Structure 1
Amino acid sequence: MKKILITGSTGFVGTNLKEYLNENEIESLNIRYVTGQKIEIETDIVIHLAGKAHDLKKVSKPNDYYEANFELTKQLFDTFLCSSASVFVFMSTVKAVADKVEGILVEDITPNPETHYGISKQQAEAYILSNKLPEGKRVFILRPCMIHGPNNKGNLNLLYEVVQKGLPWPLAAFENKRSFLSIENLCFIIKKIIENQHIESGVYNLADDQFLSTNELVQIISSVCNKKNRTLSIPKTIINSIAKAGDLIKLPLNSETIQKLTENYRVSNQKIKSAIGIERLPYTATQGLEKTIKSFINK
Structure 2
Amino acid sequence: MKGLVTGATGFVGSAVVEHLAASSSWQPVLGLRRKPEVTMAYPWALIGELSSESDWSEALRDCSAVVHCAARVHVMDDTEADPLAAFRSANVQGTLNLARQAAQAGVARFVFISSIKVNGEQTTRDTFFTAEDEPAPRDPYGISKLEAERGLFVLAEETGMEVVIIRPPLVYGPGVRANFASMMRWLDKGVPLPFGAIHNRRSLVARSNLVDLIMTCLEHPAAANQVFLAGDGEDLSTTQLLHRVGQALGKPARLLPIPIKLLEIAAGVAGKHAIAQRLCGSLRVDISKTQKLLGWRPQVSVDQALNETAQAYLNSQNSS
**Fold similarity call, TM over 0.5:** yes
Q: Tell whether 2:293 aligns with 1:275.
A: yes
SS in 2 for 1:47: strand
Work out whether residues 200 and 275 of structure 1, in 8 Å CA contact, stay in contact via their aligned partners in 2: no
Show CA shifts across 1:70-119 (max 9, x none): 00111111122222211111111111221222410001111111111111
Once residues 240 and 137 of structure 1 are traced to their aligned partners in structure 2, the CA distance between those partners, rounded to angstroms, is: 46
Q: Select which of 70, 74, 95 maps to 1:73.
A: 95
Q: Tell whether 2:146 aligns with 1:125.
A: no
Q: Select which of 89, 101, 106 maps to 1:84.
A: 106
Q: Select which of 230, 235, 241 maps to 2:254.
A: 230
Question: Where does residue 251 of structure 1 map in the other structure?
Answer: none
SS in 1 for 2:303: helix
Show CA shifts across 1:209-268 (max 9, x none): 111111111111211222233221123343333223322xxxxxx333222112100011
Pairwise CA distance, 1:176: 0.6
Work out whether residues 106 and 267 of structure 1, in 8 Å CA contact, stay in contact via their aligned partners in 2: yes
Task: Trace 1:8-23 onto structure 2 (pairs within 5 A).
Answer: 8-22=7-21, 23=23
Question: Which consecutive unaligned segments of at least 5 residues does structure 2 have?
Answer: 33-46
Work out whether residues 72 and 87 of structure 2, in 8 Å CA contact, stay in contact via their aligned partners in 1: yes
Work out whether residues 177 and 211 of structure 1, in 8 Å CA contact, stay in contact via their aligned partners in 2: yes
Once residues 276 and 242 of structure 1 are traced to their aligned partners in structure 2, the CA distance between those partners, rounded to angstroms, is: 44
Question: Where does residue 54 of structure 1 map in the other structure?
Answer: 74
Pairwise CA distance, 1:132: 4.5
Question: Which consecutive unaligned segments of at least 5 residues does structure 1 have?
Answer: 248-253
Question: Where does residue 159 of structure 1 map in the other structure?
Answer: 183
SS in 1 for 2:243: helix
Work out whether residues 96 and 111 of structure 1, in 8 Å CA contact, stay in contact via their aligned partners in 2: yes
Superposed CA RMSD in Å reads 1.9
Give the TM-score normalised by structure 1. 0.90
SS in 1 for 2:135: coil
Work out whether residues 100 and 155 of structure 2, in 8 Å CA contact, stay in contact via their aligned partners in 1: no
SS in 2 for 1:19: helix
Question: Where does residue 31 of structure 2 map in the other structure?
Answer: 29
Length, aligned pairs only: 291
1:257/1:132 CA distance change after superposition, 3 Å: closer
Q: Tell whether 2:33 aligns with 1:4.
A: no
SS in 2 for 1:266: coil
1:225/1:36 CA distance change after superposition, 3 Å: closer
Amino acid across the alignment from 2:311:
K
Pairwise CA distance, 1:136: 6.6
Once residues 141 and 3 of structure 1 are traced to their aligned partners in structure 2, the CA distance between those partners, rounded to angstroms, is: 20
Identity of aligned residues (%): 27
